[in-house]
Chains A and B, each alone.
Chain A
Amino acid sequence: MFMDSFFVHQLIFACTTCALLLIPGWFFLSACFARNQFALLEKFILSVPASFSLLTLAIILVDRFHLLLDKNTLLMIIAVITLPFVIMTIFTKITTHTNIDIFTFTKKQYTLLGIIIIFTILAKSLFLINSIFPTATDLAHHLYWVKKITIEHHLPAYQEMEITDDADGLYLSEPHAIPDFIIGEHVFISTIAILTDVPIISAFASLILFVINIFTLLMVFVLTRRLFCNHRFGSHIALLTLLFIGPLWTISGAQAKFVSGGVIGNVIGNLLIPATIYFLYRALSEKRSAYMIPAIILGTTLAYTHHLSAFIFGYVFVFSVILFMIFQIDGWNAYKKIFSLFKNPFIIPLLISACAMLLFFIPPSYLDKDVIASSIGTPDKSTRIGIPFSQLQSMIGDARFIFGFIGMIIFFISIIIFRLKNSFAIIRLHIPVDSFAIAFLGGWLSAILLMSLFPQLLHVNILSSRIATYAAFPLSIFAAFFIMWTIDHIKVHNTSTLALPQFIISFFILCILTYTFTSGLRDNATSMNVRPETNDALQTFHAGDYASKVFKNNIQKNDFWILKDHNYITADTWLKIFFTYDFAFPFSRGYFARYESNPDRETCTRDMISTPQSERSIYCYESLNVRAVLVSTKQDASQFTRSDNFYRIYQNDELSLFLRK
C-alpha cells in the first residue's frame, strides 16, 4: 500500500515536471509560429526552454504584485500563460506539421538517434544511482531558498545575517544581500514543490535538473542541425554532436555531476544559452523578426537565472557580432536587413520591457556595483588567471578536445581564406554554413576559450575552470564537424570516387571511433561516484529534525542560535532546511583552512567548538546568543562533556547535541 502511494506520488511529480516543461512552451510556439516553421521533434525540444522561461518570468512578475504564490495562484498563472496560446493554436489554419527537410532523417539515423538518447539517459541514471541521495552542499543551499518560498509563498529577498566583530563589539549584523543566488534558479523548482507537495529533502530537485540536462543535450542537437542546415552532412554532424555530449562524457563537467551536485544555475544556463542562440540565428538568417520574441524572452530568463551564464552569453554575443562584422560579405546591406528586424511592432517594446524589468523594476541580485566590480577587471586570484591547455583538455576529454580544436582551426582557416578571396565557392566547399552560423559557432567557442584560457585579455575575473565547462558544447560541435569534414575530404569532390583505398578509410574511421569511445567511456568510468554515507546523512537529518522541533519557539525569538560543524558532519548544510529561519542559521564552523587563509574572517564559529571553555569562546557564546552546539561525537564531543557549562540533550551514533547552561 505504501509502495503504491509512493509510486503514485512520484508519478504525479514526474508528470507535473514534464507537463510544466513542455505544455506552455509548446502552445506558445504553436500560437506564435506557423506549423511549417518547426519540425515536430524540433518544437518538442524547443518547448522546454520556452516553457521554463514563460513560467519563470510570469511568476517573478506576479510576485512583484504581492500575490501569494500558493497552489491556486500557481495554477492560475499556468492557465493564464497557456490558455490564450491554446485558443490561438486551435484557430491556426494549418493543422499538421509539415516535413522540414533538415529534420527528416533516414530510418537508420532515426534508429541511431533513439539509441543515443536511450544510452544517454541510462548512462546518467547509472551515475545518479550513487549520487541521487541528497547530500550535496550546493543543492542544500539552493533548497533552503526553495523551502522558504514554499513556506512563505513569496519569492525571497536573498539576505543573511552575519557575525560582525568591529569597534562596536561582537554582534549579529542586520540581514545583508547575498548576490550568489538568483531568483530564476528557484522559481521552477519551488513551483513543482508547491504543486506536488514533494518533500524538499529528497531527490526531487536533482530529478528536475536531470530532465533539464537531457533537454539541454537535445537542444544542442537541434541547434547544431540548424547551424549546419546547408551542410550536406548536417544530420551526421548533429548526430555526432549528440554522441559527443550524450552517452560519452555524460558525467563530468556541467553534466550529471552538476545535476546531483545541485549546480542549478549552471544546468539551466546551459539550456538557455543554446536555445537563445537558436532563436537569434533563425531570426537573423531567415530575416524573420518573430524569432526575436522568444530570443528576447529566453535571454531575459537567462539573466534572471544565472549570472555566470548570462555573463558568458554576453561575451559570446559580442564575439559573434565581431565575427559577423569581419566575415560577412554583403556590406551595408547585411546590416540594413538586421535592423529591419526591429520594425516588428513587438520587438522594441519587448526589448524595452525586458531592460526595464532587469535594470529597474525587478533587478536580479547580482546587478550590484560591488559584484560587477569583483567579476570584471584583472584576475586577482590564482584560480582566475586562466587554466593551462592541458587542464582544459582533461576537463573536456582528450578526443573531444583534440578533434574539436582541430575542427575549430580548420573552420577558422577556411573562413579566413573565404574572406580574403571573397569567394563563395570556397566556403561552400569547406564550411557550407552561412555567415550567421559562422558568427555564432565561432563566437560561442572563441569567447569561452579566451575567457577560460586568457581571462586577463578580456578583463574577466571569474573562476577559470568554471568557465571552461561551458566549452564542452561548442567543442563537441567542432569535433563532429572535424570528423565529417575529414570523411568528406576523403572522397574526391563531386564524384563518388574515393581518394584513398577503402580499407584505409575504414581503418581510419575505426581508429577515430575507437579513440572517441575509449576516451568518452573512460571519462564516464573515472567520474563515477562511490556510494555516499547515507546512514551518516540520515543521522544528521534526524538530529536536525529533533532540534528544529524542540527549539522552534525559541528560534523565532532570535535569541537562540545553534552552531554546527562543517568539517566532520555529513550533509550538515541540509540542517538549515529544517529550520528555514535565516540563511546563516545554524552557524557553521567552516573548513579550518578557510580561517587561516582569510585573517579577516571571524573566528568565533571555530573557537566555540574547538575551545568552548576559552574566554574568547564564552564571549562569543554570550554575544551571539549561541545556545546549542551540534558536533561529531567522535571528533568534538569530549571538550563539551568535560565542561560544566554544557550538557548533552541528544545523541545518535555519530552526533551529539549540547545545550549551554
Chain B
Amino acid sequence: MKYPHIIIITILATLMASMLFLAYVEKNQRDTDEDFWSVYFVYPLADNNTFVIDNRSSAATFHYDITTESGIIASDDVEIETKDRILIKTEAEQNAQPVTITVKKGDEKKELEKK
C-alpha cells in the first residue's frame, strides 16, 4: 500500500474511532451522572391530581401525602427502582382543590400544589 493511502486510512480510522468514542462518552455521562428525582402532575391544567414520582437516583422508598382542606386524605410508601417511575392515580375525592402533594425520600422533600 502506498503512503498517501495509509495517511488517508489513518485519518478516516482515527476520526471514526474518535467519533464513536466521544458519542459513547456523552451517552455514558448521560447515564452515569443522572442522579435526581422529580414529582409532577400529569394533568396540571385539569381537575385531576394524578401525579408521578420519577426516580433517576438510587432505588429508595418514597412517602407521599395528599392534603386537602380536610387534612391528609391519602398517604402511602412506594418503593421505586432506579430509572423507574410510578403513577399515583387519584380518586374522585382526592381530586379536590386546593391540594398539596408532599413527597419525601429520606430527608429530601418536594411539594406540588393546585390552588
A contacts, CB < 8 Å to B? 6-7, 10-11, 13-15, 17-18, 39-41, 44, 103, 105, 107, 110, 113-114, 117-118, 121-122, 124-125, 128-129, 132-134, 202-204, 206-207, 210-211, 214, 218, 534-535, 538-539, 542-543, 546, 550, 554, 644, 647-654, 657, 659, 661
CA distance A550 to B114 in the complex (A): 15
Q: Which residue of B lies closest to A653 (CB)?
A: B36
Contacting residues, chain A, for B45 (C-beta < 8 A): 550, 554, 659
Contacting residues, chain A, for B114 (C-beta < 8 A): 647, 649
B69 nearest CB across to chain A (Å): 15
CA distance A107 to B3 in the complex (A): 8
* Cross-chain contact A203 with B26 (CB below 8 angstroms): yes
Beyond the given pairs A14-B16, A647-B112, 18 more chain A to chain B contacts, judged by CB atoms under 8 angstroms and listed by A's residue number, are A10-B23, A17-B19, A18-B15, A41-B8, A113-B7, A114-B6, A114-B7, A114-B10, A121-B15, A132-B29, A133-B26, A133-B30, A207-B23, A210-B18, A538-B34, A542-B54, A650-B38, A654-B36
Q: Is the interface of A mostly helix, strand, loop or mixed?
A: helix
CA distance A6 to B4 in the complex (A): 33
Q: Confirm or deny: B74 has a beta carbon within 8 angstroms of a beta carbon on chain A.
A: no
* Cross-chain contact A538 with B7 (CB below 8 angstroms): no
B53 nearest CB across to chain A (Å): 11
Contact of A129 among B22, B42, B110, B112 (CB under 8 A): B22
A646 nearest CB across to chain B (Å): 8
B111 nearest CB across to chain A (Å): 6
Q: Which residue of B lies closest to A114 (CB)?
A: B10
The number of residue pairs between A and B whose CB atoms lie closer than 8 Å in the complex comes to: 154
* Cross-chain contact A648 with B22 (CB below 8 angstroms): no
Contact of A110 among B7, B11, B18 (CB under 8 A): B7
Contacting residues, chain B, for A13 (C-beta < 8 A): 19, 23
Q: Which residue of B lies closest to A647 (CB)?
A: B113
* Cross-chain contact B113 with A117 (CB below 8 angstroms): no
* Cross-chain contact A128 with B22 (CB below 8 angstroms): yes
CA distance A449 to B5 in the complex (A): 38
Q: Confirm or deny: B73 has a beta carbon within 8 angstroms of a beta carbon on chain A.
A: no
* Cross-chain contact A40 with B41 (CB below 8 angstroms): no
| A–B Cβ pairs within 8 angstroms, 25 of them | A39-B4, A40-B5, A110-B3, A121-B14, A121-B18, A122-B14, A133-B29, A202-B26, A203-B25, A207-B22, A210-B19, A214-B11, A218-B11, A534-B29, A534-B30, A534-B33, A535-B33, A647-B114, A648-B111, A648-B113, A649-B44, A651-B111, A651-B112, A653-B108, A659-B44
Contacts A7-B20, A651-B110 given: A40-B33 contact, CB under 8 Å? no
Contacting residues, chain B, for A41 (C-beta < 8 A): 4, 7-8
B contacts, CB < 8 Å to A? 2-8, 10-12, 14-16, 18-27, 29-30, 33-45, 54, 56, 108, 110-115
A117 nearest CB across to chain B (Å): 6
CA distance A652 to B57 in the complex (A): 11
* Cross-chain contact B40 with A125 (CB below 8 angstroms): no
CA distance A609 to B53 in the complex (A): 26
* Cross-chain contact A44 with B15 (CB below 8 angstroms): no
A78 nearest CB across to chain B (Å): 19
* Cross-chain contact A207 with B19 (CB below 8 angstroms): yes
CA distance A644 to B30 in the complex (A): 37
Contacting residues, chain B, for A648 (C-beta < 8 A): 111-113
Contacting residues, chain A, for B10 (C-beta < 8 A): 114, 117-118
A554 nearest CB across to chain B (Å): 7
CA distance A543 to B7 in the complex (A): 47
A452 nearest CB across to chain B (Å): 31
Contacting residues, chain B, for A6 (C-beta < 8 A): 24, 27
* Cross-chain contact B18 with A651 (CB below 8 angstroms): no
Contacting residues, chain A, for B24 (C-beta < 8 A): 6-7, 10
Q: Which residue of B lies closest to A553 (CB)?
A: B45
Contacting residues, chain B, for A661 (C-beta < 8 A): 115
Contact of B40 among A132, A539, A647, A649 (CB under 8 A): A649
Contacting residues, chain B, for A105 (C-beta < 8 A): 3
Contact of B14 among A117, A204, A538 (CB under 8 A): A117
A552 nearest CB across to chain B (Å): 11
* Cross-chain contact B20 with A542 (CB below 8 angstroms): no
B79 nearest CB across to chain A (Å): 20
Contact of B6 among A11, A110, A543 (CB under 8 A): A110
* Cross-chain contact B34 with A535 (CB below 8 angstroms): yes
CA distance A539 to B27 in the complex (A): 15
B104 nearest CB across to chain A (Å): 12
* Cross-chain contact B27 with A644 (CB below 8 angstroms): no
Contacting residues, chain B, for A539 (C-beta < 8 A): 36, 38
